[in-house]
């Protein structure tokens, strides 16, 4: 399997290149500003770690080449999501805000939290000080899961130091407290998840997939 890595010069793109090199994965690197070079590149699957504003050109390239696409960017517009859903009818697309297996296990766990009158739910997320989106795509995923149970959590978002990612869901009532925590200690965990997503989707014909589908396949 050969991976076309888009956004290779970004923070996560460089991490992916290191991961691919260490694990002897065949890949070709494309910087997000050199989209014109895409048309000449060949591979089996596209991994997009660029930016949301590059989505349409990357989707078009994937559709024209009939290649599976793994979208690892966040903070997309409604129009972007609509286009992703439309193109997934033609090609297989894998999309996630967080490629950590354990983070997605946390997301599954909080489905069991039910809204009760005497409860308060707090979601705390901490990331490095250069991270732009607040709340993060990962936090938005947890918020969406809680809202399915009619829970609107209080959100605390911190941007400090070089923290990769910490997410805490705290449940308070009058007599007890439950705290669920996920802490990322290396970005390589996202690289492993993204690579597994590539291996998962490369055999699919079309459709829209996420980490839930990947976890179920393990």
Catalytic residues: 127, 131
Select from 172, 165, 173, 176 the least CA-distant residue to 142. 165
Check residue 29 and report its DSSP letter.
E
Select from 65, 70, 7 the least CA-distant residue to 34. 7
Distance CA 107, CA 112 (A): 10
Helix, strand and coil content of the chain, in percent to the nearest 5, comes to: 40, 25, 35
ω into residue 173 within 30 of 0, thus cis?
A: no
Total Cβ atoms within 10 A of residue 206: 13
């Amino acid at each position: 399997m050969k991976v076309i890595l888009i956004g290779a010069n970004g923070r996560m793109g460089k991490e992916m290149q290191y991961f691919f090199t260490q694990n002897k994965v065949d890949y070709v690197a494309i910087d997000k500003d050199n989209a014109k070079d895409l048309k000449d590149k060949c591979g089996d699957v596209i991994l997009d770690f660029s930016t949301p504003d590059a989505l349409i050109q990357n989707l078009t390239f994937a559709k024209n080449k009939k290649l599976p696409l793994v979208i690892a960017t966040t903070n997309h517009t409604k129009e972007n999501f609509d286009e992703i859903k439309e193109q997934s009818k033609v090609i297989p697309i894998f999309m996630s805000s967080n490629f950590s297996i354990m983070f997605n296990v946390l997301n599954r766990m909080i489905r069991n939290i039910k809204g009760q009158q005497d409860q308060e739910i707090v979601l705390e997320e901490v990331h490095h000080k250069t991270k732009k989106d607040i709340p993060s795509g990962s936090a938005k995923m947890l918020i969406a899961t809680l809202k399915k149970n009619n829970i609107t959590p209080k959100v605390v978002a911190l941007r400090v130091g070089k923290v990769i990612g910490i997410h805490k869901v705290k449940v308070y009532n009058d007599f007890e407290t439950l705290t669920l925590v996920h802490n990322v200690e290396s970005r390589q965990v996202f690289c492993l998840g993204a690579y597994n997503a590539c291996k998962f989707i490369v055999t699919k014909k079309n459709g829209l997939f996420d980490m839930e589908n990947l976890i179920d396949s393990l």
